[in-house]
Structure 1
Amino acid sequence: MMRKFILASRFESLLLPSLSQNGPSKPSKSLFSLITSSFGFSQNRACSSTPEQNAKSTVLVDYLIGSLKFSKARALAVSSNFAHIKSIANIDEVVRFFKALSWSDAQIQSLAHRRPTILFASVEKTLKPNIMFYQELGLYGPCLGAFISKNQNKLKASLDRTLKPCILLIKKVHNNDGRNRSDEKVNDDLFRTITRCNRIVQMKSILEENIRYLESCGIVGSQLSTLLLRQPRIFGMHKEKLKEIVSRAVGMNFTIGSRMLVHAIHCLSCMSIKTLNGRFEVLRLFGFSKDELALMFRKSPFVFGISEAKLRWKLEFFLNHYNIDKFLLVRYPILLTCSVEERVIPRINVLEVLKSRKLFKKDLSFYKAMCISDEKFLEKYILRFENDAGDLLLAYNNQPPDTSER
């Protein structure tokens, strides 16, 4: 700043007439250019935009506000970023292309708001080939619109270099899981996978490498497919990070090739060591030993995904309110995943009626009663007892038994 001031003062005598001169003199054009360049601006930059540019900007702003429901501030921001755009013809072509696909106005607006750059993409070179690829996979009309509006980066990415190789690789994993599912169900899992982890379709080499590594750990077929669906983020990790998770699982007595390893990897990838230790500490406060905790984790790693508050509340219910044996939770930790309000309490009510009326000839298994499906529970513990089914249903719905005829 000081340097510019000194330069200005040096040239002041050249720009302004001195008192000794008879008349004013004009600085030369080259001298004026030298001075303006010293101050870091030019005649062109002094005037930031021409009337023609302003008119074009106004047309774009009006279109974004009127047709795509942009706020004025958002429209102005987008317009300033695309000041080089000479007309809205391409934008209008893009919008008409989306409408021809039977996308709703809300879907088009959502897509435009989240990724305005799509409005300036080439319909023929970029959008149409990508859309045709998704249509070949079974997505059409509003369903395709809903998918794209949530996954904007999957419309402008390179089809041959990025999208197609990654998406077909993900589909291959789901298709070869040994469950002999229809192409429609495979595609459903495919779209759910890439929706849950947008960036997975942009890292083919990492995706391939992690698939090979997990397969080498014995995670294949339906286990690999299920893990990819439920936790696709794992497949986008750097291999060293994934190896670290597997190493932690092995250190907790999971073996390579075991059926439970995939559950341990899933669980450990979702939480930090600090978070997992917090779950262990809650259980220790209720009297569980270190060996019991290790056994519970090996049996049901996903139990430790429960929040500390909910875990503490469930332990309080089972151990202190209902007074079940702690060993039952060690043996069947999956009980801690059951909803107390919607499953446990209604079924306990039924078991108590069955016990009080001695309707079962053998001891009732608390674990089996809690973990079977609703349909099987109704069939085995309620409907089979025709004379008592009414009262059992009342108990199941947390209502007192009907004693009018008893």
Structure 2
Amino acid sequence: MTLLRVEECRGEQPFASHASSRRPKTLQRQIAEALRTATQASVLFPWNLRLYSLFQIGLSESHIQSIISRRPQLLFSRVDKTLKPKIEYFQLLGFHGPELGELLSKNGILLSCSLNKTLVPSVKCVRQIVNNEKDLIKVLQRYAEWIIPRQQRVLDNAAFFKSCGIVGSQLSFLMTKNARLFAMRESLVRNYVSRTVNLGFSVNSRMLVHGLRTISSMSIVKFNRKLEIIQSCGFSRDEAMQMFRRTPGYLADLRRG
């Protein structure tokens, strides 16, 4: 069984900084042993009970390793008052077993932030934007680390997109395709919209959201390189731009041969 590399964790360390250089290796062995004897909760050290609570709900060893390496302070969280309520909340949302493990291991902040002050309000915010629960789960799986701690920014950017005519299913489309855009600074978001409009997409048009999705997914240099790929096939730059305006998603998916 692979041992946790706790000595490489960032953030709060499980033991005091004055501990000997051999202490992290001892901690590794204790965590590994906790996972191997997870069914014997009574014999675990107090902080190992946190590992047991994660193991008990079906998280794999690799998931637990990822969670603890990202947030070692969770070893000192209170199971009943801190970890368990959050885990139960995500189970109610539809995350179970490996799917829950993937969510928590890739988004360490979910077990560290406040349930009532951050998690619940932020999920409610996303739910108001996306079309259905399936899209909600998809957004959380891919972008929770970005959007959960930035609820107000998500709301403000959503309001701005609506003022540009990106509403309803289009707003949901943008959230599921690039939720990070909702978590960016307002000045950066406005710059992306301005660039999209300058390239020929009108505000309040149904194509604006598709152009914005492509423009926000790449740098100006990369955008120009992709236009050059089209031009290398015998098209002029104007023709390449016309193709982009008709099917902006094509440019986002274009790869060099």
TM-score, normalised to structure 1, is 0.52
**Residue deviations 1:22-43, cap 9 Å, x none?**
xxxxxxxxxxxxxxxxxxxxxx
CA distance in 1, matches of 2:217, 2:22: 52
The amino acid that maps onto 2:140 is: I
Q: Measured at CA, do residues 59 and 209 of structure 1 come closer, stay the same or move farther in structure 2, by a change above 3 Å?
A: same
AA paired with 1:193?
V
What CA distance in whole angstroms lies between the structure 2 residues aligned with 1:98 and 1:114?
15
Instruction: Please name the residue that 2:191 is paired with.
Output: 244
| 1:188 partner letter | K
Q: Which of the residues 218, 229, 233 maps onto 1:286?
A: 233
Gaps of 5+ in 1: 1-47, 70-87, 178-185, 311-406
Give the 3 Å change call, closer, same or farther, for CA 281–57 of structure 1 in structure 2.
Answer: closer
- Residue 122 of structure 2 corresponds to 166
- Residue in 2 that maps onto 1:212: 159
Q: Which amino acid aligns with 2:138?
A: R
CA distance in 2, matches of 1:201, 1:270: 21
Structure 2, unaligned runs of 5 or more = 1-17, 37-43
For residues 208 and 130 of structure 1, the distance between their equivalents in structure 2, rounded to whole angstroms, comes to 23
| Deviation of 1:142 (Å) | 4.0
What residue in structure 2 maps to residue 150 of structure 1?
Answer: 106
Cα distance, 1:305 vs structure 2: 2.1
**Alpha-carbon distance in 2 for matches of 1:131, 1:138:** 11
Deviation at 1:242, TM superposition (A): 0.9
Shift of 1:56: 8.4
Aligned to 1:133: 89
- Pair 1:234-2:181 in alignment: yes
Residue number in structure 2 paired with 1:389: none
Which digits, 9 at most, give the CA deviation of each residue in 1:303-358, with x for residues without a partner? 22244523xxxxxxxxxxxxxxxxxxxxxxxxxxxxxxxxxxxxxxxxxxxxxxxx
Q: Verify: 1:188 aligned to 2:138, yes or no.
A: no
1:54 and 1:196 mapped to 2: Cα distance? 37
TM-fit CA distance, 1:59: 5.9
C-alpha contact (below 8 Å) 1:68/1:112 kept by paired residues: no
TM-score, normalisation: structure 2: 0.80
Q: Which amino acid aligns with 1:282?
A: I
CA separation in 2, counterparts of 1:298 and 1:107? 43
Find the counterpart in structure 1 of residue 15 from structure 2.
Answer: none
Q: Using the alignment, how far apart are the partners of 2:216 and 2:65 within structure 1?
A: 35
Whole-angstrom distance in 1 between the partners of 2:81 and 2:35: 23
CA distance in 2, matches of 1:167, 1:294: 38
* CA distance in 1: counterparts of 2:62 and 2:230, whole angstroms: 48
Q: How does 1:3-402 map to 2 (within 5 A)?
A: 60-68=27-35, 89-174=45-130, 177=131, 186-197=132-143, 198-307=145-254, 309-310=256-257
Q: Residues of 2 paired with 1:284 and 1:54: CA distance? A: 59
- Please tell me the residue identity of whatever aligns with 1:62: R
Q: Summarize the Cα distance change of 1:56–1:244 in structure 2 as closer, same or farther, 3 Å threshold.
A: closer
Higher gyration radius (CA): 1
Change (3 A) 1:90 1:156: farther
Amino acid in the other structure paired with 1:215? K
Q: Does the 8 Å CA contact 2:229/2:256 hold for their aligned counterparts?
A: no
Structure-2 change in CA distance of 1:63 and 1:269 (3 Å): same
Deviations 1:88-130 (A, max 9, x none): 7332221222233233344333433443222221112211221
Q: Identify if the C-alpha distance between structure 1 residues 218 and 62 changes in structure 2 by more than 3 Å, giving closer, same or farther.
A: same
Relative to 1, partners in 2 of residues 1:58 and 1:220: Cα closer, same or farther, differing over 3 Å?
closer
Aligned partners of 1:60 and 1:281: how far apart in 2?
54
State how far apart, in whole Å, the 1-side matches of 2:183 and 2:190 are: 13
User: What is the RMSD of the two structures over their aligned residues, measured on CA atoms?
Assistant: 2.6
**What do the CA deviations read for 1:359-394 (whole angstroms, capped 9, x no partner)?**
xxxxxxxxxxxxxxxxxxxxxxxxxxxxxxxxxxxx
In structure 2, distance between residues paired with 1:150 and 1:262:
28
Distance 1:215 1:143 in 2: 32
Query: 1:262/1:55 Cα in 2 relative to 1: closer, same or farther (>3 Å)?
Result: closer
- The structure showing larger relative contact order (alpha-carbon pairs under 8 Å, at least 6 residues apart) is 2
The Cα offsets for residues 237-267 of structure 1, whole Å up to 9 and x where unpaired, read as 1111111111111111211111110010000
Give distance in 2, aligned partners of 1:251 and 1:200.
28
Pairs aligned (count): 232
The amino acid of 2:119's aligned partner reads L
Change (3 A) 1:288 1:151: same
Alpha-carbon offset, residue 54 of structure 1: 9.9
